Chains A and B, each alone.
Chain A
């Protein structure tokens, strides 16, 4: 995540100027009468203009994707792909790079969720002096770029003996995501009525049990949002794997873009295969949009509008 150009939504920080909302609708299924947004296109001419603009912008956006695919067939056509399957680049099957990214994403998410939920609970539902100061101190690191921590993290990873270990990459990723996670969960926690907690406490429940049985289940949408974002960021993270991994067995998808170009690209056959491997590296993102889009947009909404 360290390198994504988009930081997570900070909406929850902000007050909502909105009135009561209608029930949220799911993206992807919105019959005419169900979708108020449909009304805003008032004339047929406007509709054509909108289609025109969308198509033009769509073509602009699609051009690099087209370039990627076109390049991947240069030289030896489909054989570029076939030889990739039969003879993996640098002994690393592309599927393995997804698996590596995915596993790192899971660990990354596990740390972020565990730490953000506990901290979010403490900062929103526990009373102690210096709470706001502690919160500010934690959020202070929201904008820290991973590149500024390269030198020390290299040293830390060395000391912890975590080179070529999923944990070695997942931990610094988590450290950089946690400020956001805490922000999200604390703002979420502030919207959980204190009365719920008080009632449970009166029943003799400990804070730990309130956290586990009440806070966590309620926080589910925010947690799901966080997990999904962690997964995306791990898939995109180039910085940490490139610095901390040398073993080809743990190469991640983002890292493969550069390590493949190092290992290939010296002969025409390799050049074609390299371009084909780039296309394959984009496949998980395509699957994500096709099958997971609804999920992530819902996650964002739940996370950012539950105020």
Chain B
């Protein structure tokens, strides 16, 4: 009986107090000293907190009247959450815009670049290609966000020590890869030839990289020209990819490794090559690592899909457009560029950009960087993904690799899913 009133009341009061304290977590925007605080939202790899923090620090030192509050959200959560938050009128002043279907989804919330205080100048600071690519992301071709950098996928990062011990050269073709895998097996140390994220979207990336070697136009046709998914080229590319597993070049035992496990395995020296997007290329600074393309029948055929990976936009509802535009400029063409470009997060969209002297210190690093630049500047096709569709077909790719679906069926199923118009 004592419970109902005393402790009930106490519980309620305690609850209320905590609710109130939870509500006040927001924070003031502009303070008495005239300092404007802008909210900057991005996902964890674009370009990631470790890189962003020093940029913000330098920017704030240069612009004492602006403070930047950075919110980082995991990549998988970013798309729904940022779209929701924009819809909810959350205070966001600078937003990382992911190219692809998502850009179209949020474009109505963005302020056209032409309306930015520095919009017109900014526009001319980027390469024409990247501006064209960026415009293509938006329904009516109006530039709603500026391009920042491009990445490509998939590329391999190899452990030069492991290869050195085996006495094999960095593998670029199917045959060379097979040689390496066989050598590893013979060595008997249990080192895996390849690890890579088994997430559906990445398996789609890997399969499309292989398809791109057969038909470089495949993806652009589908994406921009209403092309078909179930083409012979797709089936052939997928079969080529599967063959790598069937003949023991790759190991199906790695097909349940998530992104983190795959990369950790490589870092711990338990795999010779890690395939991923070029956004992981910064690893070449953390060990004796180099970069190779995804294997092809012959070295000339090696390619990847590349495209803008990161754009920056300013929500129309933001009340701090000017400060936001300043920060975007700093980040995309200003002093911020060196910071993320040196971490090899991507290839800058800025016209005529060169890496600062001394970033690449060893021959391996220089050579790897060149490989990367060559691949990304001449991609087989755009990397302009369709989000959920990528997950859908990626799941089928895994089915094919594991032998529970034929490449033909996967192609047909993908085509059927594409036709539903859901994506």
Name A's B-contacting residues (CB within 8 A): 75, 90, 100, 103, 106-107, 109-110, 154, 157-158, 161, 163-167, 216-217, 220, 223-224, 242-243, 246-250, 258-259, 261-268, 270-271, 274
The contact of A246 among B11, B14, B71, B87, by CB within 8 Å, is: B71
What DSSP secondary structure best describes chain B's contact surface?
helix
Bound Cα distance A75, B44 (Å): 23
Contact A268 B267 (CB under 8 A): yes
Name B's A-contacting residues (CB within 8 A): 1, 3-4, 11-12, 14-15, 18-19, 22-23, 25, 44, 71-77, 80-82, 84-85, 87-88, 90, 258-261, 263-264, 267-268
Query: For A247, what are the chain B residues with a Cβ–Cβ distance below 8 Å?
Result: 25, 71
Contact A158 B87 (CB under 8 A): yes
What DSSP secondary structure best describes chain A's contact surface?
helix
Query: For A100, what are the chain B residues with a Cβ–Cβ distance below 8 Å?
Result: 22
Q: A158-B88, A262-B74 are in contact. Are A220 and B268 (CB under 8 A)?
A: no
Query: For A248, what are the chain B residues with a Cβ–Cβ distance below 8 Å?
Result: 71
Query: For A106, what are the chain B residues with a Cβ–Cβ distance below 8 Å?
Result: 11, 14-15, 18
Apart from A107-B19, A268-B267: 7 A-B pairs, beta carbons within 8 A: A164-B25, A166-B18, A223-B3, A261-B260, A268-B268, A270-B260, A274-B260
Q: Name which residue of chain B comes closest to A220, CB basis.
A: B3
Contact A271 B23 (CB under 8 A): no
Q: A103-B18, A106-B18, A246-B71 are in contact. Are A262 and B76 (CB under 8 A)?
A: yes
Bound Cα distance A281, B18 (Å): 21
Bound Cα distance A258, B73 (Å): 11
B229 CB → nearest A CB, Å: 28
Contact A271 B18 (CB under 8 A): no
* Closest CB pairs A-B (n = 3): A262-B74, A265-B260, A106-B15
Query: For B12, what are the chain A residues with a Cβ–Cβ distance below 8 Å?
Result: 110
Query: For A246, what are the chain B residues with a Cβ–Cβ distance below 8 Å?
Result: 71, 73, 81-82, 84-85, 90
Q: A266-B260, A268-B264 are in contact. Are A250 and B88 (CB under 8 A)?
A: no
Contact B74 A163 (CB under 8 A): no
A167 CB → nearest B CB, Å: 6
Bound Cα distance A270, B268 (Å): 13
A115 CB → nearest B CB, Å: 14
The contact of A263 among B4, B19, B71, B72, by CB within 8 Å, is: B72
Contact B44 A158 (CB under 8 A): no
Contact B74 A271 (CB under 8 A): no
Contact B25 A103 (CB under 8 A): no
Bound Cα distance A258, B75 (Å): 11
A107 CB → nearest B CB, Å: 5
Bound Cα distance A261, B23 (Å): 26
